[in-house]
Amino acid sequence: MTIRSLALAIACASLIAGCAKKEESVAAAPAAAAPTAAEADAFVQEAEKSLGDFAEYEAKVAWINSTYITDDTDWLSARVGAESVQKSVRYAKDAARFDAVQGLSFDTRRKLDTLKQMIVLPAPSAPGAAEELATLATGLQSAYGKGKGTYKGVPTPGVELEALMGTERDPEVLKEMWTSWHAVGKPMRADYVRLVGIANQGAKELGFADLGAMWRSNYDMKPEEFAVLTDSLWGEVKPLYDQLHCYTRRKLNQKYGDAVQPASGPIRADLLGNMWAQEWDSIYDIAAPAGAGDIGYDLTDLLVKKNYDAVKVVKSGENFFTSLGFAPLPDTFWSRSQIIKPRDREVICHASAWDLDNKDDLRIKMCTMVNASDFVTVHHELGHNFYQRAYNKQPYLYLGSANDGFHEAIGDMIALSVTPEYLVQIGLLDKSNVPDASRDIGLLLRQALEKVPGLPWTLLVDKWRWGVFDGSIPVDQMNKGWTDLRLKYMGVVSPVPRSEEDFDPGAKFHIPGNTPYARYFLARLLQFQFYQKACEIAGSQGPLHRCSFYGNKEVGAKLNAMLEMGRSRPWPEALEAFAGSPDMSGKAVVAYFAPLQTWLEEQNKGQQCGW
């Protein structure tokens, strides 16, 4: 690419319309000389400036749309989304022109690759495709945000149903909530199929086999190698999940009887205390081991008794990070965040963390409730915020985590430290009430019910999408593909018959929200590697699951050294910088739950495990 054509491409990337004719004139011009390394450097510099300048505007529009859902904000978000897609796709296509250039610096090559891989939904070059894709994406997300199910016949928002799934024990009411909420996905089906078709074509224009291959290419390895890695990692932890499934099914059978939950085969999904059966800790009262089930405290009760409100819950999360030596959140965090659900408008309650200016405009978006689940979620979300600020001095194309699993894992690592010892340190639990070693199985079981089911769940969500994207799951069998994968990986089934009239994937935010999900699978593993290393640095004695590194500045300094790298280096280097090894592994998960797995195997003797 010549300097002249490069400048024209960059100018076109900033326009919504009017570029087609100019691009045609470039195409009709005599063939340009082969691009050079100097032109690649200049292209990256201009791309970073243009995208960086646009990012704050785009983020603020997205924030408004998420916290004030109206037809007008939907329209505005779709328009800005279309512009963003057009810019990103044009830069991605221009970046591909430098693939064969020799002598590029490490940073220029890495940033060119990032430009090709950073798009979640690439639009093809066909006129109107970007606008249609953005409109579809915005409409799907808004349909989810506006969705309601029913509880005992009363229309109820999804966030409230999620909480009720953890406390309700009437199987008929659980079935009603599950079925009514999953109906939210039905109207999305046709739009989702159309969206996949457009985005797949966009991915192919960028040189990828399909959208799934494009997503998987973002892990410093070939797409097929990443798929193999996830299967290998799942194999390391599957025996633990199998034992937990077997034990939990028996407890549910004892609670509800054969007519509701048979003693063999899969588990009925709505009985597991979570709308998607991805976390089972809400049914600990059912699964608790005889004689050892009382772990000595209830975190929700502790929060209520100590007069916590939503803001104080968030303050606790901030306090963990400041105890490690991180600077406090800016004042604007507290004045601009959505911490509680507004009463006067529709919002997206799904928790998320934001950095609107890639500097210090950090925010959290939640509909926070004073309970154990949201206490942990706050620690997770603030992990994103502190990570965002740690790398904010990196160039624009390095603003991100080493891979997207790292971003999710940091907060989860902090959440793992919500142990009895930590609760004592922050004054929520009296030292005299800390459970002794006889309660360890109960503590571990409760933690396993929260953490372990998420491993197969987070794997199957993108397994389903990869199948839809590459056609191995046909569009007329999408719901069957979903239920088949849930059965294969999780051993759970729907409480009522499903058909292709349904679109159950649409009932999970990340599907209509088009958020790649493999990151959460990686995070479920990385958090234990990070936690294990943090406890080692802190010199923690005793069982790993009781460790708290709260207040340890050495952990904070070493953690920050990894976080501030952003995505400037391949993720194995970032992993090694903190964890001491470049290899991702499930061994830390197995080590953490080793006493529990031995106990589960004893409890399951004579049972027909599996499904």
Q: Which residues contact 6 (CB under 8 A, 6 or more apart)?
A: 39, 42, 43, 46, 94
Instruction: Read off the pTM.
Output: 0.84
Phi, psi values for residue 252, rounded to 5°: -70, -35
pLDDT at 4: 29
pLDDT at 283: 97
pLDDT at 433: 85
Residue 96 has pLDDT above 80, yes or no: yes
Q: What is the pLDDT of residues 424-446, one digit of tens each?
A: 999 999 988 888 887 889 889 99
Q: How far apart are CA 450 and CA 373, in angstroms?
A: 10
pLDDT at 47: 96
Q: How far apart are CA 50 and CA 91, in angstroms?
A: 10
Q: How far apart are CA 164 and CA 399, in angstroms?
A: 38
pLDDT at 8: 29
Phi, psi values for residue 377, rounded to 5°: -60, -40
Share of the chain above pLDDT 90, in %: 80
Active site residues: 350-351, 380-381, 384, 408, 510, 520
Residue 9 has pLDDT above 50, yes or no: no
Average pLDDT, integer, range 436-457: 91
365: β partners: 338, 352
pLDDT at 293: 60
Residue 158 has pLDDT above 70, yes or no: yes
Buried b (16+ CB within 10 A) or exposed e, 372-406: bbbbbbbbbbbbbbbbbbbbbebebbbbbbbbbbb
**Residue 495 confidence class, pLDDT cut points 50, 70, 90:** very high
Residue 586 has pLDDT above 60, yes or no: yes
Cα distances (Å, whole numbers) of residue 610 to 112, 126, 242, 589, 597: 46, 49, 7, 21, 16
Q: How far apart are CA 449 and CA 454, in angstroms?
A: 9
Range from 4-18, 197-211, 528-542 carrying the lowest mean pLDDT: 4-18
Residue with tokens 């027909």: 608
Q: How far apart are CA 156 and CA 163, in angstroms?
A: 11
Q: Which residues contact 468 (CB under 8 A, 6 or more apart)?
A: 196, 475, 478, 481
pLDDT at 89: 81
Residue 422 has pLDDT above 80, yes or no: yes
Q: Which residues contact 478 (CB under 8 A, 6 or more apart)?
A: 189, 193, 468, 500, 503, 505
**Residue 251 confidence class, pLDDT cut points 50, 70, 90:** very high
Q: What is the pLDDT of residues 22-39, one digit of tens each?
A: 333 334 445 568 899 999
Cα distances (Å, whole numbers) of residue 326 to 243, 344, 558: 40, 35, 12
Q: Regarding predicted confidence, which is higher, 13 or 454?
A: 454
Q: How far apart are CA 228 and CA 341, in angstroms?
A: 41
Average pLDDT, integer, range 106-111: 96
pLDDT at 116: 86
pLDDT at 30: 53
Residue 419 has pLDDT above 70, yes or no: yes
pLDDT at 292: 63
H helix and E strand count, the chain:
26, 6
In a 13 Å sphere around the CA of 275, the CA atoms on its Cβ side amount to 25
**Residue 289 confidence class, pLDDT cut points 50, 70, 90:** confident
Mean pLDDT of the chain: 91
pLDDT at 20: 32
Q: Do the Cβ atoms of 255 and 147 come closer than 8 Å?
A: no
